[in-house]
Amino acid sequence: MLQFPKDFLWGTATSSYQIEGANKTDGKGPSIWDAFCQIPGKISNNENGDTACDHYHKVVEDVQMMKALNIKAYRFSISWPRILPDGKVTKINEKGIDFYNHLIDTLLKNEITPWVTLYHWDLPLALQLEYDGWTGEKISDLFADYADLCFSRFGDRVKNWITINEPWVVAILGYGQGVFAPGRISNIEPYVAGHQLLLAHAKAVQVFRTKYQPTQGGQIGITNNCDWREPASDSDADKKAATRALEFFLGWFADPIYKGDYPKCMKERLGERLPAFTPEEKTMLLHSSDFFGLNHYTTMYAAEASGNLGKTNTYGNGGMSEDQDVILSSDPKWEYTSMRWAVVPWGCRKLLQWIANRYDNPPIYITENGCSYNDNLENGICADEKRTAFFKGYLTECNAAIQQGVNLKGYFIWSLMDNFEWASGYSKRFGIHYVDFETLERTPKDSARWYAELIANQ
C-alpha cells in the first residue's frame, strides 16, 4: 500500500455545470454552456446539463457518499449565474447563495474541507452577450466583483479558493477551436481571452489579499492544466520542441504568475497577437498564487515541426499548434482511456519535476487527475479495474516525485461521480461513483472502495 506524508490532502473534484442540474431553478440565470448545448451538433447526442446529476437536490446524500470515501477535501465550483443571474453584483440571487451555504455547512459538519473554484467555465450568458465574454476588457473587473461577493458570503467558512479552472481550455477550446462554449474559432482570440483570464485571476486575488486574507486567513490560487510533453528523440531540436510545447501550454499561464511575464518564445512567435502586460499588471500578477493548482491527464511525444505540421497534429486549426510549431504524437503501445488519452504515469512525475524546477518548488496540489472508461453496472457492481490501475500508477509516480523533493501536498480525483463531460455529454464516465442517468442513482465503483481504503491506511 502506498504511503504518503501524514498531512497529504486527499480529495475528489466536480464542477457546477457538470453535476448540479436545476438549471432553471430558483432564479438561476443562463450560462454560455446552456446556450452552447442548444446548438445542434455541438454536444454528443445533443445532451445538456439541465438535470446532470441533480446534485442541487442531493447535497445531503452526496456528502454522505464523500464521507464513505474518507476524503478530507472536496473541490467544487460555484456557478456564477446561479448567484448572479445576469453576472453583475447589482442583482444577487439569494436562493443561489443559500444553496452553496447549505453545501458548505453540510461538508463542514462532516469534517470535509471545501475547496472552491470560482470559475469552471459557466460564464453568465448575459456577460457573453454584453461584453463579448473573455475577449472584452470589462470582464476582469466583473469577475473581481463576483469573487468579492463570494469571499464576503462564504469566506468565514471557505479557506481554500481557486480563481479559475484551466484558462488554457477556455482560451483554446472556447476561442480557438470552437469545440467548447462560446464556440469561437480564431487564432487571435485565444491569446486575448487568455490575457483577460489572467487579469481576472490577479484582480480577484488582489481583492482577497487586501480585504479578506488579513482577517480571515485562507489561501488562494489558480488551477492550470498541462499534459506532459516528452521529446520524441534525443535530438536537440526535439528537446527544444518539447520545452516549447510546455511553455505554450503551462508557461503561458504560470510564467506571468511565477516570473512576471509570458514566456519569451511565445512573445517571439506570436508578435502582436499576444497582448502585453503593463508594469502595474505584471506586479499584480507576480506571486498571485499561494499554491500551484495542477490538472493533469495525459502525455504526448513532441518533435520539432519546422513548419511542416501537416495532418499529424492533434490540436490543428485554431492557433495553438501552428504557433508552437511542434508535432505531437503518441505510442500505440500505450494504454488508452475511452477519451483516447494515453495512460502514462511517468509523465506525471516528469511534469511535477518540471514545475518544481521552473517555478522554485511551489506547493503543488493536483486538483484533477482521472480517466474515463466504458463502465458497466451489473448486479450493483462496477468492476472498473482499469481505473484503479490508473490511480495506482499515477499515485505511485506522485509518491516518487515527493521522495525526490517535489512539494506535492494534495491530490483530487476527477471525479466524485460520472457527470456531464462537456462536448462528450454523458457518454464519457470519469466518476468513481457510477451514475444511472435515468434514475440518478449513485453506486460506488470498485475504484471508490480502493480509494477509501488507501486513505484509511495513511
Q: Which of 153-161, 186-194, 197-205, 414-422 is the region at the interface with ligand GAL (rule: CB under 6 A)?
A: 414-422
Is 303 within 8 Å of 241 (Cβ atoms)? yes
With contact defined as beta carbons under 8 Å apart, do 364 and 352 qualify? Answer: yes
Q: Which residues contact 406 (CB under 8 A, 6 or more apart)?
A: 352, 353, 355, 356, 361, 364
48 binds ligand GAL (CB under 6 A): no
Residues in contact with ligand GAL, counted by CB under 6 A, come to a total of: 12
Q: How far is the CB of 293 from ligand GAL (least distance, A)?
A: 11
Helix count and strand count (H, E) for the chain = 19, 15
Indicate which single residue of 4, 11, 15, 22 sits in contact with ligand GAL (rule: CB under 6 A): 15
Site for ligand GAL in 284-303 (CB under 6 A): 295
Query: Near ligand GAL by CB under 6 A, which window of 165-173, 262-270, 330-338, 391-399?
Result: 165-173
Closest distance to ligand GAL from the beta carbon of 168 (Å): 9
Judge whether 304 and 326 are in contact, CB under 8 Å. yes
Site for ligand GAL in 55-114 (CB under 6 A): none
| Cβ contacts of 393 within 8 Å, gap of 6 or more | 343, 345
Cis peptide before 30 (omega within 30 of 0): no
Q: Which of 20, 230, 368, 397 is catalytic?
A: 368
- Tell me whether residue 169 or residue 179 sits nearer to ligand GAL (CB atom): 169
At its nearest, how many Å lie between ligand GAL and the CB of residue 118? Answer: 14
Binding of ligand GAL by 228 (CB under 6 A)? no
All 3 cell numbers of residue 434? 457510477
Among 34, 166, 227, 290, contact with ligand GAL (rule: CB under 6 A) = 166
Known catalytic residue at 20: no
- 115: contact with ligand GAL by CB under 6 A: no
| 421 contributes a contact to ligand GAL by CB under 6 A | yes
307-366 positions binding ligand GAL, by CB under 6 A? none
Residue 31 touches ligand GAL, criterion: CB under 6 A:
no
* Burial of 309 from C-beta contacts in 10 A (0-12 / 13-18 / 19+): middle
From 20, 47, 166, 281, active-site residue: 166
- Compute the distance between CA of residue 326 and CA of residue 246 in angstroms, rounded to an integer: 10
Given a contact cutoff of 8 angstroms between Cβ atoms, the answer to whether 326 and 337 are in contact is no
Q: Taking contact as CB under 6 A, which single stretch among the options 161-169, 176-184, 201-209, 384-392 is the one that binds ligand GAL?
A: 161-169
Identify the residue among 154, 175, 373, 422 touching ligand GAL (CB under 6 A). 422
Candidate list 368, 375, 397, 418; residue touching ligand GAL; CB under 6 A? 368
How far does CA 430 lie from the centroid of its chain?
14
61 given a catalytic annotation: no
Tell me whether residue 213 or residue 225 sits nearer to ligand GAL (CB atom): 225
Beta bridge partners of 162: 117, 221
Q: Which residues are CB-contacts of 351 (< 8 A; sequence separation ≥ 6)?
A: 226, 227, 228, 294, 296
By the rule CB under 6 A, 430 interacts with ligand GAL? yes
Stretch that binds ligand GAL, among 31-39, 162-170, 251-259, 345-353 (CB under 6 A): 162-170
Cα gap 103→97, rounded to integer Å:
10
Nearer to ligand GAL among residue 18 and residue 196 (C-beta):
18
Q: Which residues are CB-neighbours of 299 under 8 A, at least 6 positions away?
A: 227, 228, 229, 230, 342, 344, 346, 347, 348
Distance in Å, CB of 416 to ligand GAL, minimum = 12
- Please give the Cα distance from 199 to 394 (Å, whole number): 33
CA distance 137 to 140: 7
414 binds ligand GAL, rule: CB under 6 A:
yes
Q: Closest approach of Cβ 157 to ligand GAL, in Å?
A: 24
Which range in 147-155, 164-172, 232-240, 323-331 contacts ligand GAL by CB under 6 A? 164-172
Instruction: Give least dist CB 3 to ligand GAL, A.
Output: 28
Classify the C-alpha dihedral 398-403-408-410 as positive or negative.
positive
Q: Residues interacting with ligand GAL, by CB under 6 A?
A: 15, 18, 165-166, 169, 225, 295, 368, 414, 421-422, 430
- Which residues are marked as active site? 166, 368
